[in-house]
Structure 1
Amino acid sequence: MSDSNENVKWFSLASIWFGGMVSVPSLLIGSTLIAALSFQFTLLAGLIGFGFVVLFMSFLSIASVEKRKNTVSLASSSFGTLGANIIVGLVIGISTLGWFGIQSNIAGASFSKIILEMSGTDIPVWLSSAFWGLVMIVTAVFGFKYLKWLNYIAVPALTVLLIYGLMVTFQAHSFDEVLNFRPTQPMPLFQAIGFTIGFVAVGGVISPDYNRFAATKKDAVLGSIIGIIPSAICLLAVGAIFAITQNTYDIVEIFSSLGYPFFAMSTLILATWTTNVVNIYSSGLAFTNLIGFKESSRSKVTLVVGLVGIGLAIIGILTYFMGFITILTIAITPIAGVMIADYFLSKTYSDNPQKLNWKGIVSWLSGVVLMLVMTSDIKNILGIVVAAICYVLLQKIVK
């Protein structure tokens, strides 16, 4: 890596994270949470959850700038080279594959809705999901270099649609209606916080892949804070407002009811298309590295992994959205705990890691098991803490 690559300023990093946040899943978080929380508590859950992820993301970013290393290379000290490849690779591969299934499902449902409203033809959602999933896989395999042109259209189109949607919404509804909304089946706040943590946890753990190029540690931290928190909170709020005023928590129904359904649903498909190509590309790359194949095999692996993702879309993974996010929270956050403990707390980081570091693997598992067996909703925050403490203790006790 040349020095010229290591001078990225905070606003450039912020724009990368901002682009990742302006997406349909960010709205989906808001519309999902508002089903069980008031508007004020939805925002509070988002602020605490996103802030928590940005906090551990900042620690990882500082380490990545100091060492100029990506996530897997940094994790190799605490998990061992093989352990980091397997654990981090599997988590990234499976999580991005799950997101691919969810977004293919959204695109499919939107497409079926467009066709039904325009022609009266009722195409099954599973068939539309399979079709759009295939289009996205082909784009990832053969047309990834053209993705930026799709992004140039999708991000502004989605932004315009959301602004228009808010204008239409507040012509017919008052903001008091939003503030006075009360759900019929409330959710504990800590459970909601865990949900928001899970949404951005993958980005938090893989942040060294991007933030290692920051000019300074301050640039890396500032870019993360400014790029994620404001945009994530705003989109969560918009998703919640639409869900309250349109009287549905179904993101496809919400977009359909905003007026100009063809434009709205087309934008929804385009926005999911751009983010989903990145999902399946990242998943294919993660599994290629995990299996130990050469870079030349990435296209074939992406195709196979993508077909699995289409299978998830066909069975309707969108209906298991909350369960999927919960799994992400449980599996991902303890990884950050172990890496932070290794670098900052026990100060045992090594540039020449062993092949397998059982202390890191056991510590990660301790955080995962705690979050699986503990019934209190505070477990969503404790997992990362327990993994870190366990690693520090093991380093002190076992030499």
Structure 2
Amino acid sequence: MDNNKNVTKWYSLAGVWFGGIVSVPALLVGSTLINSLSFGNSLLAGLIGFSFVVLFMSLLSIAAVVQRKPTVKLAASSFGEDGAKVIVGLVIGLSTLGWFGIQSNIAGASFSKILFEVYHIDLPIWLSSIFWGIIMVITAVFGFKYLKWLNYIAVPAIIILLIYGLIITFQNHDWNEIIAFKPTQNMSLLQAIGFTIGFISVGGVISPDYNRFAASKKDAVLGSIVGIVPSAMCLLAIGAILAITQGTYDIVEIFSSLGFPFFAMSILILATWTSNVMNMYSSGLAFNNLLKLPDTSRSKTTLFVGLVGILLASLGILSHFMSFISILTITITPIAGVVISDYYITKSYSEKTLPINWKGIISWGIGVLIMLLMDSQIKNILGIAASMTFYYLLQKFLKI
């Protein structure tokens, strides 16, 4: 146990999670939900979904604080050392790769919008997405150490842009218009809850990577709650409000219509750039570990993975945003179910790990299968419950 690092208070952790939440995809969740739900139901779906993730995130974080271990090492007891590297590493690597494609697509669409509206140059979005994807990959490979300086500019800039957007919005619209809004499409509340779960499910599962250094279990839990729920709810609400008042659910179109499109789109690109470099760095690192390559190969792995992400961006992965979120929910939340069952329910957590623990892998697979095949609107909750239950049953009755 590393007591020297046992110094991070809850407000520091909250700041880390706040910085991760304040991003373009968080706004995209609000603008997507409001297409099919009322404003009130969009907020309710967000509150339930975000709270559900913070619940299992807190359980994982408490275990991480006690053991002082990151996600993959914490999962080694239930998945086996190699099993955890493959399952958890692959899921994290693919999910961050998908996020990279989506955010590169957003940056590309924003850049094409700037060129057209300011200079009347019609650059195809796919080509613009490739251009910005290359810049972001190069930053992740060679300029990662300078990222914090971009963050110092980007996070305050997007907050100022959001405040400006709300001020402009409420000069011409009132609150009654927001409350009375009727969506053109229809989505069930439970489906919307699953969508919001998917948005931060990756953060929930990898939370031990950050929260293991909390000063106490209370700090880990409080930092997660304060850092995620209020900020995620605010960004969801702002995304929904802007979508309602600007008459479009396209996040690029929304910011373009606020006035000063050059500055608005530039901030959007900057904010996307900073968070997307993190996505590419995490994805490259995950695949490098997964392939058991030396640390010196990380740059080459990141570059290769980045080319795949650029391809996804050029193919317009942004238009499949909801499908991507659904895949994240299906594959990630059962991981949390297995680890929580191992640590809290079966109390079988052990420092002595097998290379492969088939009980954990089978339980995870059953959770994924249930979420994949079921039509039930509560399958997102059933998946994590199933992985917990099956792991408990296998541990109790299968002595291998």
TM-score bracket relative to the smaller structure: over 0.9
In structure 2, the residue matched to 1:216 is: 216
In structure 1, the residue matched to 2:94 is: 94
User: How does the TM-score come out when normalised to structure 2?
Assistant: 0.99
Q: Flag the 1:86–1:189 CA change in 2: closer, same or farther, 3 A.
A: same
Secondary structure of the residue aligned to 2:182 is coil
Give me the whole-angstrom Cα distance separating, in 2, the residues matched to 1:185 and 1:129: 29
Give me the whole-angstrom Cα distance separating, in 1, the residues matched to 2:117 and 2:397: 66
User: How far did 1:186 drift?
Assistant: 1.3
1:350-375 Cα shifts (integer Å, max 9, x gaps): 10110100000110011101011111
1:55-94 Cα shifts (integer Å, max 9, x gaps): 0000000000000001000000000001100000000000
* Letter aligned with residue 156 of structure 2: P
* Letter aligned with residue 362 of structure 2: V
Aligned 1:309-348 pairs, distance under 5 A: 309-348=309-348
Does 1:119 find its partner at 2:116? Answer: no
Does 1:5 find its partner at 2:15? Answer: no
* Letter aligned with residue 9 of structure 1: K
Q: Is there any run of 5+ residues in structure 2 with no aligned partner, and where?
A: none
Q: Percent identity among equivalent residues? A: 70
In structure 1, the residue matched to 2:76 is: 76
1:10-31 Cα shifts (integer Å, max 9, x gaps): 0000000000000000000000
Kindly indicate whether the alpha-carbon contact (under 8 Å) linking 2:107 and 2:269 is maintained by their aligned counterparts in 1. Answer: yes
In structure 2, the residue matched to 1:192 is: 192
In structure 1, the residue matched to 2:57 is: 57
Give me the whole-angstrom Cα distance separating, in 2, the residues matched to 1:322 and 1:253: 18
Aligned 1:289-304 pairs, distance under 5 A: 289-304=289-304
1:314-352 Cα shifts (integer Å, max 9, x gaps): 000000000000000000000000000000000000101
Does 1:181 find its partner at 2:181? Answer: yes
1:204-261 Cα shifts (integer Å, max 9, x gaps): 0000000000010000000000000000000000000000000000000001001111
Does 1:105 find its partner at 2:73? Answer: no
Give me the whole-angstrom Cα distance separating, in 2, the residues matched to 1:93 and 1:6: 28
User: How does the TM-score come out when normalised to structure 1?
Assistant: 0.99
1:282-302 Cα shifts (integer Å, max 9, x gaps): 000000000000000000000
* Letter aligned with residue 69 of structure 2: K
Aligned 1:234-273 pairs, distance under 5 A: 234-273=234-273
In structure 2, the residue matched to 1:356 is: 356
Q: Is there any run of 5+ residues in structure 1 with no aligned partner, and where?
A: none
1:26-64 Cα shifts (integer Å, max 9, x gaps): 000000000000000000000000000000000000000
Does 1:380 find its partner at 2:380? Answer: yes
1:129-167 Cα shifts (integer Å, max 9, x gaps): 000000000111111010010000000110001001000
Does 1:33 find its partner at 2:33? Answer: yes
Give me the whole-angstrom Cα distance separating, in 1, the residues matched to 2:4 and 2:10: 15
* Letter aligned with residue 71 of structure 2: T
In structure 1, the residue matched to 2:390 is: 390
In structure 2, the residue matched to 1:141 is: 141
Secondary structure of the residue aligned to 2:313 is helix
Give me the whole-angstrom Cα distance separating, in 1, the residues matched to 2:261 and 2:40: 29
In structure 2, the residue matched to 1:67 is: 67
1:91-114 Cα shifts (integer Å, max 9, x gaps): 000000000000000000000000
Give me the whole-angstrom Cα distance separating, in 2, the residues matched to 1:219 and 1:118: 48
* Letter aligned with residue 79 of structure 2: F
User: How far did 1:121 drift?
Assistant: 0.9
Kindly indicate whether the alpha-carbon contact (under 8 Å) linking 2:78 and 2:339 is maintained by their aligned counterparts in 1. Answer: yes
User: How far did 1:2 drift?
Assistant: 4.3
User: How far did 1:278 drift?
Assistant: 0.2
Give me the whole-angstrom Cα distance separating, in 1, the residues matched to 2:385 and 2:225: 21
Give me the whole-angstrom Cα distance separating, in 1, the residues matched to 2:119 and 2:168: 26
User: What CA RMSD, in Å, does the superposition of the two structures yield over aligned residues?
Assistant: 0.6
User: How far did 1:185 drift?
Assistant: 1.5
